[in-house]
Amino acid sequence: MKPTLLVRAVSSCVAVALLSIASFAFADDVSFGQNQLCGLQTTRPDHNAAVHVKTLQGRNGPIGYARFGHGTPLLLITGYRATLGEWNAYFLGELAKHHEVIVFDNRGVGRSTAVEGRYGPDYDMRDMAADAADVLAGLKLSRADVIGWSMGGMIAQRLALDAREQVASLTLIATAPPGPEAVPLTPAMQHVLSSSGADAFPKIMSALFPANAVADASKCFIGDMFAPRGYTGRPVSDAVAQQQDRAMTQWFANASAADALRRSPVRTLIVAGANDDVLADANARHLEQMIPRAKLDVVANAGHALMYQYPIALARHIEAFVSK
Protein backbone atom coordinates (compact mmCIF):
# COMPACT_ATOMS: atom_id res chain seq x y z
CA MET A 1 0.00 0.00 0.00
CA LYS A 2 1.30 3.46 -0.90
CA PRO A 3 2.15 5.73 2.08
CA THR A 4 -0.62 8.19 1.18
CA LEU A 5 -3.20 5.43 1.05
CA LEU A 6 -1.89 3.98 4.31
CA VAL A 7 -2.28 7.36 6.05
CA ARG A 8 -5.83 7.70 4.71
CA ALA A 9 -6.71 4.17 5.87
CA VAL A 10 -5.32 4.77 9.35
CA SER A 11 -7.12 8.13 9.55
CA SER A 12 -10.40 6.49 8.59
CA CYS A 13 -9.94 3.80 11.24
CA VAL A 14 -9.19 6.39 13.89
CA ALA A 15 -12.27 8.41 12.91
CA VAL A 16 -14.50 5.33 13.13
CA ALA A 17 -12.99 4.41 16.49
CA LEU A 18 -13.56 7.90 17.87
CA LEU A 19 -17.15 7.87 16.63
CA SER A 20 -17.72 4.51 18.30
CA ILE A 21 -16.27 5.78 21.56
CA ALA A 22 -18.46 8.88 21.42
CA SER A 23 -21.57 6.79 20.74
CA PHE A 24 -20.69 4.46 23.63
CA ALA A 25 -20.21 7.39 25.96
CA PHE A 26 -23.43 9.23 25.24
CA ALA A 27 -26.03 6.92 23.64
CA ASP A 28 -27.03 5.31 26.94
CA ASP A 29 -27.07 8.46 29.10
CA VAL A 30 -30.52 9.39 30.41
CA SER A 31 -31.88 12.08 32.71
CA PHE A 32 -34.88 11.82 35.02
CA GLY A 33 -34.87 15.57 35.68
CA GLN A 34 -35.28 16.98 39.18
CA ASN A 35 -34.95 14.72 42.21
CA GLN A 36 -38.33 13.36 43.28
CA LEU A 37 -37.40 13.25 46.95
CA CYS A 38 -39.98 14.46 49.48
CA GLY A 39 -43.57 15.53 49.19
CA LEU A 40 -44.93 13.03 46.67
CA GLN A 41 -48.70 12.96 46.42
CA THR A 42 -49.33 9.57 44.91
CA THR A 43 -50.27 6.02 45.82
CA ARG A 44 -48.21 3.98 48.24
CA PRO A 45 -49.30 0.39 48.88
CA ASP A 46 -48.46 0.35 52.58
CA HIS A 47 -51.34 2.76 53.21
CA ASN A 48 -53.68 -0.06 52.20
CA ALA A 49 -54.65 -2.00 55.35
CA ALA A 50 -54.90 -5.19 53.29
CA VAL A 51 -51.18 -5.11 52.49
CA HIS A 52 -49.17 -6.90 55.14
CA VAL A 53 -46.18 -9.23 55.42
CA LYS A 54 -46.78 -12.97 55.44
CA THR A 55 -44.38 -15.91 55.47
CA LEU A 56 -44.04 -18.94 53.25
CA GLN A 57 -41.86 -21.97 53.75
CA GLY A 58 -38.70 -22.10 51.64
CA ARG A 59 -36.34 -25.05 51.43
CA ASN A 60 -34.14 -23.50 54.14
CA GLY A 61 -36.68 -21.87 56.40
CA PRO A 62 -39.42 -19.22 56.49
CA ILE A 63 -39.38 -16.33 54.00
CA GLY A 64 -41.17 -13.08 54.75
CA TYR A 65 -42.91 -11.45 51.79
CA ALA A 66 -45.56 -8.93 50.76
CA ARG A 67 -47.69 -9.10 47.62
CA PHE A 68 -49.88 -6.36 46.12
CA GLY A 69 -50.98 -4.76 42.85
CA HIS A 70 -52.50 -6.19 39.70
CA GLY A 71 -50.95 -7.46 36.48
CA THR A 72 -48.05 -9.65 35.51
CA PRO A 73 -45.83 -10.65 38.46
CA LEU A 74 -42.79 -8.57 39.31
CA LEU A 75 -40.33 -9.97 41.87
CA LEU A 76 -38.02 -7.47 43.60
CA ILE A 77 -34.80 -8.56 45.33
CA THR A 78 -33.27 -6.13 47.77
CA GLY A 79 -29.66 -5.46 48.73
CA TYR A 80 -26.99 -5.61 51.40
CA ARG A 81 -28.35 -5.66 54.96
CA ALA A 82 -31.72 -4.46 53.65
CA THR A 83 -35.17 -5.70 54.60
CA LEU A 84 -38.18 -5.53 52.30
CA GLY A 85 -39.00 -2.30 54.16
CA GLU A 86 -36.02 -0.57 52.55
CA TRP A 87 -37.85 -0.29 49.21
CA ASN A 88 -39.26 3.16 48.46
CA ALA A 89 -43.03 2.97 48.94
CA TYR A 90 -43.82 5.31 46.03
CA PHE A 91 -41.58 3.33 43.68
CA LEU A 92 -43.48 0.16 44.63
CA GLY A 93 -46.82 1.93 44.26
CA GLU A 94 -46.03 3.06 40.73
CA LEU A 95 -44.94 -0.45 39.73
CA ALA A 96 -48.12 -1.89 41.29
CA LYS A 97 -50.26 0.08 38.84
CA HIS A 98 -49.30 -2.43 36.14
CA HIS A 99 -47.97 -5.45 38.05
CA GLU A 100 -48.50 -7.77 40.93
CA VAL A 101 -45.48 -6.74 42.99
CA ILE A 102 -43.73 -9.21 45.30
CA VAL A 103 -41.05 -8.08 47.76
CA PHE A 104 -39.35 -10.37 50.27
CA ASP A 105 -36.67 -10.52 52.94
CA ASN A 106 -33.39 -12.22 52.05
CA ARG A 107 -32.41 -15.05 54.37
CA GLY A 108 -31.42 -14.07 57.88
CA VAL A 109 -33.15 -10.69 57.48
CA GLY A 110 -36.52 -9.38 58.69
CA ARG A 111 -39.15 -12.13 58.72
CA SER A 112 -36.85 -14.56 56.88
CA THR A 113 -35.11 -15.59 60.08
CA ALA A 114 -35.06 -19.27 60.98
CA VAL A 115 -36.08 -20.39 64.46
CA GLU A 116 -32.48 -21.04 65.44
CA GLY A 117 -31.52 -17.58 64.13
CA ARG A 118 -29.42 -18.70 61.16
CA TYR A 119 -29.60 -20.57 57.85
CA GLY A 120 -26.51 -22.70 58.12
CA PRO A 121 -22.84 -21.79 58.51
CA ASP A 122 -22.24 -20.57 54.97
CA TYR A 123 -24.32 -19.48 51.99
CA ASP A 124 -23.74 -17.53 48.78
CA MET A 125 -25.59 -15.87 45.89
CA ARG A 126 -26.73 -19.25 44.57
CA ASP A 127 -28.39 -20.08 47.90
CA MET A 128 -30.09 -16.70 48.09
CA ALA A 129 -31.23 -17.08 44.47
CA ALA A 130 -32.74 -20.43 45.48
CA ASP A 131 -34.70 -18.58 48.16
CA ALA A 132 -36.03 -16.20 45.49
CA ALA A 133 -37.06 -19.19 43.40
CA ASP A 134 -38.82 -20.60 46.47
CA VAL A 135 -40.85 -17.38 46.76
CA LEU A 136 -42.12 -17.84 43.21
CA ALA A 137 -42.81 -21.53 43.80
CA GLY A 138 -44.55 -20.84 47.13
CA LEU A 139 -46.83 -18.31 45.43
CA LYS A 140 -47.45 -20.75 42.55
CA LEU A 141 -45.92 -18.40 39.99
CA SER A 142 -44.15 -20.16 37.15
CA ARG A 143 -42.54 -17.01 35.76
CA ALA A 144 -41.92 -13.37 36.72
CA ASP A 145 -40.06 -10.28 35.63
CA VAL A 146 -37.25 -9.80 38.16
CA ILE A 147 -35.72 -6.59 39.54
CA GLY A 148 -32.57 -6.66 41.67
CA TRP A 149 -30.97 -3.70 43.43
CA SER A 150 -27.33 -3.65 44.56
CA MET A 151 -26.53 -7.05 46.12
CA GLY A 152 -30.05 -8.02 45.07
CA GLY A 153 -28.91 -7.52 41.47
CA MET A 154 -26.23 -10.12 42.04
CA ILE A 155 -28.83 -12.53 43.43
CA ALA A 156 -31.07 -11.77 40.43
CA GLN A 157 -28.25 -12.58 37.98
CA ARG A 158 -27.70 -15.90 39.74
CA LEU A 159 -31.45 -16.62 39.60
CA ALA A 160 -31.44 -15.95 35.84
CA LEU A 161 -28.60 -18.45 35.45
CA ASP A 162 -30.01 -21.18 37.69
CA ALA A 163 -33.73 -20.86 36.95
CA ARG A 164 -33.87 -19.02 33.63
CA GLU A 165 -37.26 -20.48 32.75
CA GLN A 166 -38.69 -18.55 35.73
CA VAL A 167 -37.21 -15.18 34.70
CA ALA A 168 -39.18 -13.37 31.99
CA SER A 169 -36.86 -10.35 32.07
CA LEU A 170 -34.16 -8.97 34.31
CA THR A 171 -33.72 -5.40 35.56
CA LEU A 172 -30.44 -4.76 37.35
CA ILE A 173 -30.18 -1.53 39.36
CA ALA A 174 -26.86 -0.22 40.72
CA THR A 175 -25.21 -3.62 40.83
CA ALA A 176 -22.10 -5.45 39.63
CA PRO A 177 -21.21 -8.47 37.50
CA PRO A 178 -19.51 -11.59 38.79
CA GLY A 179 -15.85 -12.27 38.18
CA PRO A 180 -12.61 -10.32 38.05
CA GLU A 181 -13.93 -7.56 35.76
CA ALA A 182 -16.15 -6.23 38.55
CA VAL A 183 -15.21 -3.19 40.60
CA PRO A 184 -16.02 -4.25 44.20
CA LEU A 185 -17.01 -2.03 47.07
CA THR A 186 -14.00 -0.49 48.74
CA PRO A 187 -13.32 -1.59 52.33
CA ALA A 188 -14.03 1.99 53.42
CA MET A 189 -17.46 1.96 51.73
CA GLN A 190 -18.28 -1.45 53.14
CA HIS A 191 -17.44 -0.10 56.59
CA VAL A 192 -19.79 2.87 56.08
CA LEU A 193 -22.70 0.69 54.91
CA SER A 194 -22.30 -1.68 57.85
CA SER A 195 -21.87 1.08 60.45
CA SER A 196 -24.22 1.64 63.36
CA GLY A 197 -24.66 4.23 66.07
CA ALA A 198 -25.71 7.87 66.18
CA ASP A 199 -23.48 8.99 63.31
CA ALA A 200 -24.26 6.06 61.00
CA PHE A 201 -27.33 7.54 59.27
CA PRO A 202 -25.69 10.70 57.84
CA LYS A 203 -22.71 8.63 56.67
CA ILE A 204 -24.98 6.16 54.88
CA MET A 205 -27.04 8.93 53.29
CA SER A 206 -23.84 10.50 51.94
CA ALA A 207 -22.86 7.13 50.49
CA LEU A 208 -26.22 6.43 48.84
CA PHE A 209 -26.93 9.86 47.31
CA PRO A 210 -25.06 12.56 45.36
CA ALA A 211 -24.05 15.58 47.42
CA ASN A 212 -26.87 17.76 46.05
CA ALA A 213 -29.53 15.23 47.14
CA VAL A 214 -28.27 14.28 50.60
CA ALA A 215 -30.17 16.97 52.52
CA ASP A 216 -33.58 16.03 51.08
CA ALA A 217 -32.81 12.32 51.29
CA SER A 218 -31.94 12.66 54.96
CA LYS A 219 -35.29 14.34 55.65
CA CYS A 220 -37.45 11.94 53.66
CA PHE A 221 -35.71 8.56 53.50
CA ILE A 222 -37.27 6.95 56.55
CA GLY A 223 -40.75 8.33 55.87
CA ASP A 224 -40.66 7.08 52.29
CA MET A 225 -39.73 3.52 53.25
CA PHE A 226 -42.25 0.74 52.61
CA ALA A 227 -43.92 0.16 55.99
CA PRO A 228 -46.80 -2.33 55.81
CA ARG A 229 -48.95 -2.59 58.92
CA GLY A 230 -47.48 -4.79 61.65
CA TYR A 231 -44.07 -5.14 60.01
CA THR A 232 -40.90 -4.08 61.73
CA GLY A 233 -37.60 -5.13 60.21
CA ARG A 234 -35.42 -6.63 62.92
CA PRO A 235 -31.86 -5.28 63.13
CA VAL A 236 -29.55 -7.26 60.85
CA SER A 237 -27.16 -9.30 62.96
CA ASP A 238 -23.42 -9.01 62.58
CA ALA A 239 -23.31 -12.69 61.59
CA VAL A 240 -25.73 -12.14 58.68
CA ALA A 241 -23.91 -8.99 57.54
CA GLN A 242 -20.60 -10.85 57.59
CA GLN A 243 -22.13 -13.71 55.62
CA GLN A 244 -23.44 -11.28 52.99
CA ASP A 245 -19.94 -9.76 52.83
CA ARG A 246 -18.51 -13.22 52.14
CA ALA A 247 -21.16 -13.91 49.51
CA MET A 248 -20.22 -10.71 47.66
CA THR A 249 -16.51 -11.49 47.90
CA GLN A 250 -17.18 -14.89 46.35
CA TRP A 251 -19.30 -13.24 43.66
CA PHE A 252 -16.48 -10.92 42.62
CA ALA A 253 -14.24 -13.98 42.20
CA ASN A 254 -16.79 -16.11 40.33
CA ALA A 255 -15.37 -16.32 36.79
CA SER A 256 -17.61 -19.27 35.89
CA ALA A 257 -20.74 -17.20 36.56
CA ALA A 258 -19.30 -14.46 34.34
CA ASP A 259 -18.78 -16.99 31.54
CA ALA A 260 -22.34 -18.28 31.96
CA LEU A 261 -23.77 -14.75 31.78
CA ARG A 262 -22.12 -14.30 28.40
CA ARG A 263 -24.50 -16.99 27.12
CA SER A 264 -27.60 -15.76 28.96
CA PRO A 265 -30.74 -15.52 26.78
CA VAL A 266 -32.61 -13.29 29.26
CA ARG A 267 -33.62 -9.83 28.10
CA THR A 268 -31.93 -7.43 30.53
CA LEU A 269 -32.15 -3.75 31.48
CA ILE A 270 -29.19 -2.33 33.40
CA VAL A 271 -29.70 0.97 35.24
CA ALA A 272 -26.77 2.73 36.88
CA GLY A 273 -26.27 6.03 38.64
CA ALA A 274 -23.63 8.26 37.10
CA ASN A 275 -22.68 9.36 40.64
CA ASP A 276 -22.80 5.99 42.37
CA ASP A 277 -20.09 5.93 45.06
CA VAL A 278 -20.99 2.41 46.25
CA LEU A 279 -20.75 0.39 43.03
CA ALA A 280 -19.15 2.41 40.24
CA ASP A 281 -21.01 2.64 36.93
CA ALA A 282 -18.04 0.85 35.35
CA ASN A 283 -19.75 -2.28 36.69
CA ALA A 284 -22.83 -1.53 34.62
CA ARG A 285 -20.72 -1.12 31.49
CA HIS A 286 -19.04 -4.48 32.14
CA LEU A 287 -22.48 -6.04 32.55
CA GLU A 288 -23.67 -4.53 29.27
CA GLN A 289 -20.70 -6.05 27.46
CA MET A 290 -21.18 -9.38 29.21
CA ILE A 291 -24.92 -10.05 28.75
CA PRO A 292 -25.93 -10.57 25.09
CA ARG A 293 -29.46 -9.06 25.34
CA ALA A 294 -28.61 -6.19 27.67
CA LYS A 295 -29.56 -2.52 27.42
CA LEU A 296 -27.71 -0.01 29.61
CA ASP A 297 -29.02 3.33 30.88
CA VAL A 298 -26.76 5.53 33.01
CA VAL A 299 -28.84 8.09 34.90
CA ALA A 300 -27.35 11.57 35.27
CA ASN A 301 -27.03 12.98 38.81
CA ALA A 302 -28.06 9.64 40.34
CA GLY A 303 -26.42 7.82 43.20
CA HIS A 304 -26.74 4.26 44.47
CA ALA A 305 -30.31 4.55 45.81
CA LEU A 306 -31.99 5.52 42.53
CA MET A 307 -35.43 4.34 43.62
CA TYR A 308 -35.43 7.02 46.33
CA GLN A 309 -34.11 9.82 44.13
CA TYR A 310 -36.48 9.08 41.24
CA PRO A 311 -39.20 6.68 42.44
CA ILE A 312 -41.82 7.55 39.82
CA ALA A 313 -39.48 8.10 36.86
CA LEU A 314 -37.49 4.94 37.55
CA ALA A 315 -40.63 2.82 37.96
CA ARG A 316 -42.01 4.11 34.66
CA HIS A 317 -38.66 3.53 32.96
CA ILE A 318 -38.66 -0.08 34.14
CA GLU A 319 -42.30 -0.55 33.16
CA ALA A 320 -41.56 0.65 29.61
CA PHE A 321 -38.85 -2.01 29.36
CA VAL A 322 -40.81 -4.84 30.96
CA SER A 323 -43.94 -4.22 28.87
CA LYS A 324 -42.14 -4.45 25.50
Over residues 117-139, the pLDDT tens digits come to 555 668 999 999 999 999 999 99
Tell me how many domains the chain contains. Answer: 1
Query: Tens of pLDDT along 49-96?
Result: 999 999 999 988 999 999 999 999 999 999 999 999 999 999 999 999
Question: How far is residue 179 CA from its own chain's centroid?
Answer: 18
Q: Nearest to residue 170, comparing CAs of 77, 81, 68?
A: 77
Of 25-29, 59-63, 205-209, 246-250, least confident by mean pLDDT is 25-29
Residue range 105-119: mean pLDDT, rounded = 79
Residue 17's pLDDT is what? 37
User: 0.85 exceeded by the pTM?
Assistant: yes
- Give percent of the chain with pLDDT exceeding 70: 89
Eight-state DSSP code of residue 164 = G
- Whether residue 278 is predicted with pLDDT greater than 60 in this model: the reply is yes
Q: pLDDT digit string (tens) for 55-66?
A: 999 988 999 999
Report yes or no on 5 lying in a domain. Answer: no
User: Above 90 in pLDDT, residue 44?
Assistant: yes
Mean pLDDT computed over 188-193: 92
- Is residue 11 in some structural domain? no
DSSP percent split of the chain into helix, strand, coil, nearest 5: 45, 15, 40
The pLDDT confidence band at residue 115, using thresholds 50, 70 and 90, is low
11 confidence band (pLDDT: 50, 70, 90): very low
Give the pLDDT of residue 195.
87
pLDDT band at 12 (very low <50, low <70, confident <90, very high): very low
Res. 197 pLDDT band, cuts 50 70 90: confident
Q: Is residue 166 part of a domain?
A: yes
Write down the pLDDT at residue 118: 54
pLDDT for position 15: 36
Report the pLDDT value the prediction gives residue 38, as an integer from 0 to 100. 86
Considering the domain boundaries, does residue 298 fall inside one? yes
Average pLDDT of the chain, as a whole number: 90
Per-residue pLDDT for 2 more than 60? no
Q: Confirm whether 34 is domain-assigned.
A: no
The pLDDT value given to residue 28: 76
**Which strands, in side-by-side order, build the sheet including 29-30?**
29-30, 294-299, 268-273, 167-173, 144-149, 72-77, 99-104, 61-69, 54-58
- Rg for the chain, CA atoms, rounded: 20
111-115, 178-182, 263-267: least confident range: 111-115
Determine contact, residues 303/271, Cβ cutoff 8 Å.
no
Dihedral of the CA atoms 311, 288, 157, 174 (nearest 10)? -30
Tell me, yes or no, whether 116 lies in a domain.
yes
In a domain, 17, yes or no: no
Domain containing residue 279: 40-322
* Strands 99-104 and 61-69, sheet pairing: antiparallel
pLDDT interval class at 3 (50, 70, 90): very low
Q: What is the pLDDT of residue 208?
A: 98
Is residue 32 over pLDDT 50?
A: yes
pLDDT tens readout for residues 296-322: 999 999 999 999 999 999 999 999 999
Beta strand pairing call for 144-149 and 167-173: parallel
Would residue 61 count as lying in a domain?
yes
Q: The domain spanning residue 152 has which CATH number?
A: 3.40.50.1820
The per-residue pLDDT for range 225-254, each reduced to its tens digit, is 999 999 987 788 888 999 999 999 999 999
